[in-house]
């Protein structure tokens, strides 16, 4: 499909056996992660009765992203398939320990941190390996399928997590998550072929120096620099998730209003991802930056505090626009040099995870001062302004080079 202008189709991508294995493994482990988040929240709150400590536990899923780029360099030093398998087995072992009822909370907190930290080299290796498995526009469609999987896992995982936690207890749910990592490792082992580590001098330098080189590589390149800012600004529309429940209390007396708002965003993202992957590749590239900015417009309208139905539509529309994340990471991956791709992807991934945690925290602080609707308005306004600036910056770079730039080699 590359160079033809025709959009790749889902069946084209699913025809690749290695992609099917990577996709299924990610689905299993992502769903397990959501189940674990529910179980940990319940476990910590039941043991301590502290809402603050429960929130701190949730924050631990974001904090490792701040140092994740250092470990992401492992995806360039060692065969990426083996990095993913090792990380899955290690996370499964950590979760197995956490599932033991006699493990005290003070031990669980560092284990949560370690488990999340291991996701950095795994995600970097997965993104880089995906570019080896899929070429050209198939990579963008593959990223779209990953986006849809992530949103489905978020909605379904939370629902199933609550059910499993009630039936199996939080410890049983943590054991389910541990099993999901072992299953993921076995799928990758059997479904993805071995490839040697990228050729380069990465093995002769420290991980810290490798991280610095990766940052210089990204920020010295106009396209990569613009792309990474477009990707990192996803934290602004995600702010709505952290404010959804208090905002719902200001517009509706319905006890489930917050749940409806939380569900509206990922549903919109799924719809947006599906539509975007049906568009022509060149059109997707042109729409990417404007959509990043437009993801803030519905949140800005929420300042008016419309009723629950309209607010759900607005949250959903923000999710539709935020589906630009189908296009941006795939374009970033294609543009990154193959030998340093893992490090670049690690920086990208860790940054957008950290940006979500930072924006969620700042959104809560602003909501205390201006109210939930005011905080949504601030996030929406910043997204509009930043998106407009990045749209101008993106139009100044050579889109043709991105469309036909370095892509992975088809398997």
How far apart CA 332 and CA 311 sit, in angstroms, is 33
DSSP state of 327: T
Q: How far apart are CA 102 and CA 409, in angstroms?
A: 49
The pLDDT-based confidence of 72 (bands split at 50, 70, 90) is confident
User: Max Cα separation, the chain?
Assistant: 61
Written as one string, the DSSP assignment of 102-162 is T--HHHHHHHHHHHHHTHHHHHHHHHHHHHHHS-THHHHHHHHHHHHHHHHHHHHHHHHHH
For 47-61, write each residue's pLDDT tens digit. Answer: 877 655 665 676 676
Mean pLDDT over 167-178 rounds to: 88
Token pair recorded at residue 142 = 């593959």
Q: Are 230 and 352 in contact (CB under 8 A)?
A: no
- CA 156/CA 160 separation, integer angstroms: 6
pLDDT in tens, 95-120: 999 999 988 888 888 898 888 888 88
Q: What is the per-residue pLDDT across 223-252, written as a single tens digit (0 to 9) for each?
A: 999 999 999 999 999 888 878 878 888 888
Average pLDDT over the chain, rounded to whole? 82
- Per cent of the chain over pLDDT 70 is 84
Q: Picking from 130-144, 193-207, 316-330, which range would have the lowest pLDDT averaged per residue?
A: 193-207
The pair of structure tokens assigned to 299 is 């949140």
- The two structure tokens encoding residue 212: 């610095």
Is the pLDDT score of 411 beyond 60? no
Q: Which two tokens stand for residue 249?
A: 């209390």
Coil, strand, or helix at residue 234?
coil
Quick: pLDDT tens for 345-375: 878 887 887 888 788 778 878 888 898 899 9
What angle, 0 to 180 degrees and rounded to 10, lies between the N-to-C axes of helices 137-191 and 119-133?
110
pLDDT value of position 3: 43
Q: Could you give the CA distance from residue 380 to residue 321 in angstroms, rounded to a whole number?
A: 12
Domains and CATH numbers, the chain: 10-194 (1.20.1250.20), 206-403 (1.20.1250.20)
Residue 2's alpha-carbon distances to 137, 140, 283, 327, 402, in angstroms, are: 6, 11, 14, 15, 11
Cα–Cα separations (whole angstroms), residue 312 to 255, 263, 323: 15, 9, 17
pLDDT of residue 112: 87
Token pair belonging to 361: 């925290």
**What confidence score (pLDDT) does residue 245 get?**
74
Residue 406's pLDDT is 44
Collect all residues with Cβ–Cβ distance below 8 Å to 340 and sequence separation of at least 6.
76, 198, 200, 202, 213, 214, 217
pLDDT over 60 at 199, yes or no: no
């Amino acid at each position: 499909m590359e160079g033809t202008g025709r959009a790749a189709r889902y069946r084209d991508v699913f025809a690749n056996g290695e992609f099917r294995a990577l996709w299924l493994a990610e689905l299993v482990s992502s769903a397990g992660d959501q189940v674990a988040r529910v179980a940990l929240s319940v476990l910590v709150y039941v043991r301590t009765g502290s809402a603050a400590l429960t929130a701190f536990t949730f924050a631990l899923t974001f904090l490792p992203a701040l140092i994740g780029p250092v470990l992401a360099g492992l995806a360039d030093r060692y065969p990426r398939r083996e990095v993913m398998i090792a990380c899955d087995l290690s996370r499964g072992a950590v979760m197995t320990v956490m599932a033991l009822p006699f493990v005290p909370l003070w031990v669980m907190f560092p284990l949560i941190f370690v488990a999340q930290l291991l996701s950095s080299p795994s995600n970097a290796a997965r993104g880089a390996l995906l570019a080896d498995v899929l070429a050209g526009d198939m990579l963008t469609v593959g990223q779209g399928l990953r986006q849809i999987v992530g949103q489905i896992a978020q909605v379904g995982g939370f629902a199933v997590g609550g059910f499993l936690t009630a039936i199996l207890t939080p410890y049983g749910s943590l054991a389910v998550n541990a099993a999901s990592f072992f299953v993921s490792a076995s799928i990758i082992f059997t479904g993805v072929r071995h490839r040697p580590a990228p050729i380069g001098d990465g093995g002769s330098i420290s991980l810290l120096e490798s991280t610095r080189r990766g940052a210089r590589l990204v920020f010295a390149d106009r396209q990569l620099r613009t792309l990474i800012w477009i990707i990192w600004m996803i934290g602004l529309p995600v702010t709505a998730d952290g404010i959804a429940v208090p905002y719902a209390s200001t517009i509706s007396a319905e006890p489930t209003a917050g749940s409806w708002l939380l569900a509206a965003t990922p549903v919109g993202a799924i719809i947006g991802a599906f539509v975007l992957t049906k568009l022509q590749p060149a059109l997707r590239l042109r729409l990417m930056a404007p959509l990043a900015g437009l993801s803030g417009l519905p949140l800005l309208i929420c300042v008016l505090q419309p009723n629950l139905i309209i607010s759900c539509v607005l949250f959903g529309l923000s999710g539709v626009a935020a589906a630009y994340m189908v296009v941006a990471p795939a374009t970033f991956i294609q543009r990154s040099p193959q030998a340093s791709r893992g490090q670049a992807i690690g920086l990208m991934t860790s940054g957008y995870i950290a940006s979500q945690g930072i924006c969620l925290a700042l959104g809560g602080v602003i909501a205390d001062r201006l109210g939930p609707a005011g905080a949504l308005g601030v996030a929406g306004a910043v997204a509009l302004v930043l998106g407009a600036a990045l749209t101008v910056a993106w139009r100044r770079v050579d889109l043709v080079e991105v469309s036909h730039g370095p892509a992975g080699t088809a398997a």
